[in-house]
Amino acid sequence: MYIKRLKQKAMLLIVLAGFLILLIMPARDSREEEPPQEGEQLVIPEEEEEYTAVPEEVWEMPGADAKIRVLILAEDGGIHHADKELAREYPGELQYFEEEAGWVIVNEVPLEEYLCRVVPSEMPSAYAKEALKAQAVCARTYAVWQMREYAYPEYEAHVNDSVSYQVYNQIESQETTSQAVAATEGQIMLWEDGPVKAYYFATSCGSTTDENIWEKGDRKQTPYIAGRRIGTSENDHDLTDEETFSSFIRKKHEGDLEISEPWYRWNCYVSLDQIRQNVATWAKARAQRSEEGILLKEGDSFVHQEVDSIGEIQKAEIQLRNTGGAVQELLLTGSDGTMKVTYEYNIRLMLGVPGGEIHKNDGSISEGGNLLPSGYFVMEPVEEEGTLTGYQIYGGGLGHGAGMSQNGAKVLAEEGYGYDEILQYFYHEIRLARLE
């Protein structure tokens, strides 16, 4: 009996001791993760491999190691420099031509190095990768197209470094843009048996046009640059019709790719006196460069003349629109004559608002320049005490509006489009090839 009680007491002491141990042990935090089971491994997802198209077709002229010759313009926009010193460093080789008016400087540079300083000068380096790659292919294609002949044969220069061709070396090469050039190395766009005219511009109004906006443009030769609606909005409206276009440009359309971009819509005021000043500044110079751009009325016809005034401006009227709604002809009536202005660049000059205010889509205000932001606009007469004083202009887009919209490309890239898909979106039925 004694032994039995002793065993019971011993068991009781063991139970009490176990209970005390449990009380003094630290409680386990319920948030603590369970340790991995034997055989399990922590898997770190690999970064998705960057997509790059691999064109099968080869284009041989120029070769992959081609060099482009770029005439460097002086600060005043002319070709002559006061001396041989340049404000920026340039890759490749600089060649100097001494003339009575000053130095002409040409930069001979490998094509791919040239592009590394064109792409960041033409498109913000912070844009999505696929947009930058699309820009690189556009810039390379445009350069190859220009390299078929010399723009400045006396200096054997294919292009200059300005917006007349492609902006070059205004911004130094950037990591993201150089990566885009490298990722698409040698790739260009072809249509039928040659490189395309890879025009591009900043922002669309929701519509693009064809190259008939320029005097030497011929839409029959470049069907890959055709007017189209940019986005998912309805495409069946004839924007060459004045009433239809007026309704279009005064509204924002939910399906437009660039509806959130600052230059998607804008408006400004241009006075009759400002138009008179624009005519005095630009008409004669543009007539010298354009056979059909500046025409004066003689009897029932309009003829080419170099003139810098038609007197006080009495009226301005849009006469014709090109594909997509870009203004093609503008009629200016003055006290001393009537002038027909044709093609988008000339028209934008005659309605420019240097020093004026341009109210943009995002509510901000920009200072106007010599050029109206685009050729996509309508004009509403403004009167004071019953007398016409000028026009309120309602417009959209920034740039000429033919080819690829750079901000449209940005939006498409953000939506997941590859650069080859972006190019196919803006250039009809083109194909990619590679230089060899």
- Model confidence over 51-75: pLDDT tens digits? 777 787 888 778 778 999 999 999 9
User: DSSP letter string over 237-278?
Assistant: --TTSHHHHHHHHTS--TTBTTTTSTTSSEEEEEEHHHHHHH
Phi and psi torsions of 371, nearest 5°: -100, 135
Largest Cα span, the chain? 143
Report the length, in residues, of the chain.
436
Q: What is the pLDDT of residues 235-287, one digit of tens each?
A: 678 999 999 999 999 999 999 999 999 999 999 999 999 999 999 999 999 99
Within 13 A of 18's CA, how many CA atoms are on the CB side? 6
Q: What percent of the chain has pLDDT over 90?
A: 80
CA distance 383 to 366: 24
Q: What are phi and psi of 42, to 5 degrees?
A: -75, 120
Answer for the pair 185, 55: CB distance below 8 angstroms, yes or no.
no
CA 253 to each of CA 249, 256, 321, 395, 417: distance values in angstroms, whole numbers, following the listed order:
9, 6, 21, 14, 21
Residue 383: other Cβ atoms inside 10 A: 9
Tell me the pLDDT band of 416, cut-offs 50, 70 and 90. very high
pLDDT number for residue 60: 75
* Sequence-ordered list of residues with C-beta below 8 angstroms from that of 145, at least 6 positions apart, any chain: 194, 195, 196, 197, 198
| pLDDT value at 407 more than 90 | yes
pLDDT at 26: 39
Distance CA 232, CA 212 (A): 25
- Burial status of residue 259 (CB atoms within 10 A of its CB: 0-12, 13-18, 19 or more): middle
Q: What is the mean pLDDT of residues 384-397?
A: 97
As a whole number, mean pLDDT of residues 397-410 equals 97
Q: How far apart are CA 270 and CA 244, in angstroms?
A: 23
Coil, strand or helix at 387:
strand
Distances in whole angstroms, Cα of residue 49 to Cα of each of 45, 46, 52: 12, 8, 9
Task: State the amino acid at position 409 in one-letter form.
Answer: A
Instruction: Report whether 115 contacts 166 (CB < 8 A).
Output: no
* 6-37 pLDDT, tens digit each: 344 445 444 444 444 433 343 333 323 333 33
Write the CB contacts of 8 (distance below 8 Å, at least 6 apart in sequence): none
Backbone angles phi, psi at 202, to 5 degrees: -75, -60
* DSSP conformation class of 28: P
Cα–Cα nearest to 137, from 92, 80, 195: 195
Query: Which amino acid belongs to residue 364?
Result: S
pLDDT given at position 5: 39
Contacts of 112 (CB under 8 A, 6+ apart): 181, 182, 185, 186
pLDDT score recorded for residue 52: 79
Q: Which two tokens stand for residue 7?
A: 């065993």
CB 219 within 8 A of CB 323: yes
Q: Cβ distance 360 to 259 under 8 Å?
A: no
Provide mean pLDDT across the span 83-108. Answer: 96
Mean per-residue pLDDT over the chain, rounded? 89
What φ, ψ does residue 121 adopt, rounded to 5°? -80, -20
Question: What is the rounded CA–CA span in Å between residue 306 and residue 50?
Answer: 55
pLDDT at position 84 over 90: yes
Given this model, what pLDDT does residue 64 score?
79
The DSSP symbol for 235 reads -
Average pLDDT estimate for 319-324: 96
* φ/ψ (deg, to 5) at 423: -65, -40
Q: Give me the torsion for CA of 109, 110, 113, 119, rounded to 10°.
A: 90
The answer to whether the beta carbons of residues 181 and 258 sit under 8 Å apart is no
pLDDT in tens, 191-226: 998 999 999 999 999 999 999 999 989 999 999 999
Look up residue 113 and give its two tokens. Answer: 């190095």
- Bridge partners of 67, per DSSP, are 110
User: 12: part of which helix (H) or strand (E)?
Assistant: helix 2-24
Classify residue 271 as exposed, middle or buried by CB count within 10 Å of its CB (0-12, 13-18, 19+).
middle
Q: What percent of the chain has pLDDT over 70?
A: 89
Q: Is the pLDDT confidence value at 43 over 70?
A: no
